[in-house]
Structure 1
Amino acid sequence: MRAGALGFVAGLAALLAAPVSAQLSDAEEVMVETVADGFEDDVALLERITLINSGSHNHAGVKAVAEVLAPEFAALGFDVEWIDQSAQGRAGHLFARHEGVPGTTKMLLIGHLDTVFEPGSPFTGFVREGDRAVGPGVVDDKGGIVVILAALRAMQAAGTLEGANIVVALTGDEEDAGEPLEAARRDLVEAGKWADVALGYEGLSVLDGKDAGVIARRSSGSWTLTTRAGSGHSSGIFSDHAGYGAIYEMARILDAFRRELPEENLTYNVGFMAGGTPAELGEDGLSATTSGKTNIIPSHAIARGDLRALTGEQNERVAGKMRAIVAQHLPGTEATIAIEFRYPPMAPTAGNAALLDRLNAINADLGREAMQPYPPSRRGAADISFVAPYTVGLAGMGPAGSGSHAEGESIDLRSIVRQAQRSAILISRLAREPSPQ
């Protein structure tokens, strides 16, 4: 966390601690009604952008979605910018900036234009059945973008948008970030350093059938484990001269991970592995090839997996334990592990919890149940994590749905309404308050 950020977060937590009002104001009533009245138009926009394939590697498709959305933000008085990312191997990001009253709360709204479904995916179209719709990226994250726009339109209708300081950051590569990662996320991080509050518009979390708030998300990293050994006739396995072979060394390490690493909010999946004479990782890093015989001691083994933790400290500590396990070689073997941290965690903070309290004050004013914090072990990484060290935030501000990243992904269309209403009121209330920076 940057210098002075701890004091800033503490100050903002205090600022957020008390609700501004005990009931909906006239302007807030207008926002509630405007969102409800705009429902069918919002669904139509969602259908329009869902029908455009915007897989992370479909650069033309990602930009085509941005070209649909840019006029929507411009009509609300935002300055719109396309940030080219071709040098990072991706299409680009769409940023929209609105300058309000100086010295008031600065807010960053985060979503993404891309999906996991590339042009060759058989999952296409937009199928609506009442208040449910199915389509690629319909909830992750095109529905989230629609929630942002619905909230901003409601604010404009109520007269609360004019004074608000807002940056909307829609990345074009959230599902598969460009390289180098530092360059791919530079603009987002700069916006996070500017902001007092960040809101992430990926899907709404539901806990025991009730809407929940996301004040923390885990990191996403990967590891590659390679073991090597001298080869020879299998009759010598376990002997002093032949050793144990690369596969037994791999098995030792992975089993030690299973037994020795478990702790709360930590997972470390093994995605794939191969062993033999030889075994080689594919150029894409997502496959491996091997061959061998039953009577030959294997010379190589390779495995790749992920690592997810709740805090940076947990990441580093667990990585240290993994390296120590790897270093305890079986006789006649060698092993190395490479660990890469990509998406950082969004650790739970007092400021994040206070922001959820503010949202729950709005829920009370709307006559809705309070949203409990969602267990971070159930949420993956997201772009909001890149700005978490610099500002307070809430994630999961997008619509409810199911089946993200899989054929049949669906959205509860009515959840757009309640999420946009919550957002419009929260952003409007915060926009009236002084920036703690």
Structure 2
Amino acid sequence: MQSLSLAGAVALLAAVATPAAAKPDAKLLAAATAARPEQLKLLETIVNIDSGTGDVAGGTKVGAILIEQLKALGATVRTVPAEIPGLPDNIVATVTGTGKTRILMIGHLDTVFEPGTAARWPYRVEGDRAHGPGVGDEKGGVVQGITALKLLKQLAFRDFAKITILIESSEERGSPGTRKLIASLLADHDVELNLEPGDAPDKVTVWRKGSTVLTIDVTGKAAHAGVAPQDGRNAAVELLHQLGDLDAFPHTGDGLTVNLTMMQAGKRNNIIPDHASATFSVRNRVPAQIEEVVARLEKNAQTVAVPGTTATIKREAAYPPLATNAATDALASRATAIYADLGRKLGTGGNGGASQSALAAAAGLPALDGLGPAGGNFHSDGEYIDLTTVTPRLYLLTALIMQLGKQGAPPRY
């Protein structure tokens, strides 16, 4: 891909004009523009390597490429084993400066895609969009974070105490392999910048829903389906009974949503199933909403339609909501002003996708999310990033880091 001239970059970045004259940092803009070909080449390389959550070999391969990049920048890099089995190591890289602000960037290398996806659906560019498994969620953001560190080194900017980038390996499952590590890093930093993708057309994320996994688990009794079905206790039939109340919960919208995502029952077609389960993705704006859903499912589980079966509710907590708060709004205002210098308008919004920024906010740390390239159709074979946002977003992230280094972060709350 050909590199853009500085004049061409300014024209590209001014696609959405603002009334004020654009006054970008010329050196930073030139550096961000020049970094584009290498940035996109690295993105293509890691998108074409499968690294779905739990793919240890693929995640380790992607991690090795990223570690090499970080070490070349002079960062101190350490790998931290995941806190549960079956996950690749997490990566923590730190660069130190001469200032006071401690800045934490968080990204993740795991995707939602199964092994073999990259071979069937490799990185490709169509018009102003780049497609591929995890191109937005969130390999594009991880590459952007590393590239921002490259620009800071190139510009000899060191007016910060330290910048840490955590690249973790289990975000798509709620970070079960990283919770203790995240907590320790949050306690040792002043602000968190999250590398999740921005929502199209060009937004940062100022609120998110919480995410909890709930499972209805039914136990019955196996029996020969032809010879003695009467001796069985059909767990699958009872599961259907338990699911009868599903439409009591909303499935879409900006508030609480409860959606059935997985079902399992039976192992052979000639055996009455003795086990069945259904898993739900519950997304909530208010913490108490989770308790309301759990209470209703548990009440339903007390009554079974198939005698001899039992139903239980299992809960796997993930992320709390990222609620609207003054510290996040203050960071978004800074980002909006930086983007305006480029002649671009930065939107703000929220969605039902959870992230580590909720953990940062819960710990009282100022956090801003959605700082990766903007895109859409995440978690599907239509996932993409908008290539016209790649260089502006790199400029934005780097300039925001520089401003936080010089001016400090909003206070903890």
TM category, shorter:
0.7 to 0.9
1:49: which partner in 2? 46
State the partner residue of 1:212: 203
Matched, 1:389 2:362: yes
AA aligned opposite 2:397: S
1:23-422 to 2 correspondences below 5 Å: 28-85=25-82, 88-101=85-98, 104-121=100-117, 122-129=119-126, 131-176=128-173, 181=176, 184-206=178-200, 210-226=201-217, 250=239, 253-259=242-248, 265-273=255-263, 280=266, 302-327=277-302, 335-374=311-350, 376=351, 379-390=352-363, 391-422=365-396
User: How far 1:101 sits from its partner (Å)?
Assistant: 3.5
The one-character-per-residue Cα deviations of 1:256-289 (angstroms, maximum 9, x if unpaired) are 3423678952111123446xxxx55xxxxxxx77
Opposite residue 139 of structure 2, the aligned amino acid is: K
More divergent stretch after superposition (148-157 vs 419-428): 148-157
Distance 1:64 1:299 in 2: 40
Report SS of the residue matched to 1:304.
strand
State how far apart, in whole Å, the 2-side matches of 1:50 and 1:166 are.
Answer: 25
3-state secondary structure, aligned to 1:358? helix
AA in 1 matched with 2:213: S
SS for the counterpart of 2:171 is coil
Counterpart selection for 2:397 from 423, 426, 435: 423
CA contact (8 A) 1:107 1:197 kept: yes
* 1:177-203 CA distance string (max 9 Å, x none): 67xx2x532212211222221111121
- In structure 2, the partner of 1:9 is none
Tell me the secondary structure at the aligned position of residue 208 of structure 2: coil
- C-alpha separation in 2, matches of 1:53 and 1:292: 36
Which digits, 9 at most, give the CA deviation of each residue in 1:7-65, with x for residues without a partner? xxxxxxxxxxxxxxx99888x33112210122112111212222333233332332222
Amino acid at match of 2:245: A
Given that 1:200 and 1:384 are in contact with CA atoms closer than 8 Å, whether structure 2 keeps it comes out as yes
Unpaired runs of 5+ residues, structure 1, are 1-21, 232-244, 281-287
RMSD of aligned residue pairs (Cα, Å)? 3.4
User: 1:413–1:315: structure 2 CA closer, same or farther, 3 Å change rule?
Assistant: same
Q: Rate the CA distance shift 1:434–1:174 in 2: closer, same or farther, 3 A.
A: closer
Please report how far the alpha carbon of residue 397 of structure 1 lies from its aligned counterpart in structure 2 after TM superposition. Answer: 0.9
Q: 2 CA distance for matches of 1:92 and 1:307?
A: 28
Q: Counterpart of 1:356 in structure 2: which amino acid?
A: A
**Alpha-carbon distance change, 260 to 386 in structure 1, aligned in 2, over 3 angstroms:** closer
Aligned counterpart, 1:236: none
* Distance in structure 2 (CA, Å) of the matches to 1:58 and 1:228: 30
* 2:33 match: secondary structure: helix
For 1:246 and 1:118, locate their aligned partners in 2 and report how far apart those are by CA, in whole Å: 29
State the alpha-carbon separation in 2 of the partners of residues 101 and 316 from structure 1. 47
How many residue pairs get matched?
Answer: 379
Cα separation, 2, equivalents of 1:52 and 1:248:
41
**Identity across the alignment (%):** 31
Q: Which residue of 2 aligns with 1:10?
A: none
- The question of whether the paired residues in 1 share the 8 Å contact of 2:83 and 2:178 is answered with no
Q: Give, as a single letter, the amino acid of the residue that structure 2 aligns with 1:354.
A: A
8 Å CA contact retained: 1:363, 1:370: yes
Q: Which moved more, 1:149-158 or 1:353-362?
A: 149-158
User: Contact 1:152–1:161 (CA<8 Å) still a contact in 2?
Assistant: no
TM-superposed deviation, 1:168: 0.2
State how far apart, in whole Å, the 1-side matches of 2:57 and 2:82 are.
12
C-alpha distance in 2, partners of 1:301/1:94?
37
Q: Which moved further from structure 2: 419-428 or 338-347? A: 338-347
Deviation at 1:126, TM superposition (A): 2.6
* Deviations 1:308-342, CA, capped at 9 Å, x for gaps: 11243332343234333444666968543222212
Q: Deviations over 1:231-277 (max 9, x none)?
A: 9xxxxxxxxxxxxx977865565343423678952111123446xxx
Q: In the aligned structure 2, how far is the partner of 1:75 from the partner of 1:24?
A: 34
Unaligned runs of 5+ in 2: 1-19, 223-233
Distance 1:29 1:151 in 2: 16
Contact 2:334/2:400, CA 8 A, preserved across alignment: yes
Kept in 1, the 8 Å contact 2:218–2:311? The answer is yes
Q: 1: CA distance between counterparts of 2:305 and 2:29?
A: 65
